[in-house]
Amino acid sequence: MPRKPIIAGNWKMNCTQPEAIQLIRELLPLVSSDDLSDRVEMVVAPPFTALAAARQELAASTISLAAQDVFWKQSGAYTGQISPAMLVDAGVRYCIVGHSESRGRFGVPEPDFDETVLRHFGDSDETVRRKVSVLFQFGLTPICCVGETLAERKAGRTDATVIGQTERALQGLTAEQVATLVMAYEPVWAIGTGEVCDAPEADRVCGLIRATVERLYGRTAAERVRIQYGGSVKPSNAVELLAKENIDGALVGGASLKATDFAQIISAAPHR
Ligand code: 13P
Q: What is the pTM of this model?
A: 0.94
- Specify if 241 maps to a domain: yes
Which of 196, 105, 186, 106 has its CA nearest to residue 144?
Answer: 186
CA 58/CA 143 separation, integer angstroms? 20
The ligand 1 atom at the shortest distance from the C-alpha of residue 101 is: 8
Residue 227 within any structural domain of the chain? yes
* Residue 112, SS3 per DSSP: coil
How many distinct structural domains can be found in the chain? 1
Which range of residues forms the domain containing residue 252?
6-267
Residue nearest (by alpha carbon) to ligand 1 atom 2 = 253
241 lines ligand 1 (CB under 6 A): no
Is 180 contained in some domain? yes
Residue 272 forms part of a structural domain: no
Average pLDDT, whole number, for the chain?
93
Which atom of ligand 1 is nearest to 192's Cα? 4
6 alpha carbon to ligand 1 midpoint, in Å? 15
Residue 118 inside a domain? The answer is: yes
Could you read off the pLDDT of 37-71 as tens digits, one per residue?
A: 999 999 999 999 999 999 999 999 999 999 999 99
Phi, psi values for residue 212, rounded to 5°: -65, -45
- CA pair distance 229, 249, nearest whole angstrom: 6
CATH number at residue 43: 3.20.20.70
Examine residue 152 and state whether it is found in any structural domain, yes or no: yes
**pLDDT higher than 50, residue 117:** no
Q: How far apart are CA 151 and CA 149, in angstroms?
A: 5
d(CA 234, CA 228): 14
- List pLDDT tens digits, range 132-183: 999 999 999 999 999 998 889 999 999 999 999 999 999 999 999 999 999 9
Question: 252: CA distance to ligand 1 center in Å?
Answer: 5
22 inside domain: yes
Nearest to 96 by CA among 59, 137, 44, 60: 44
The answer to whether position 1 is within a domain reads no
The residues that are catalytic are: 99, 186
- Are residues 131 and 173 in contact, defined by beta-carbon separation less than 8 angstroms? no
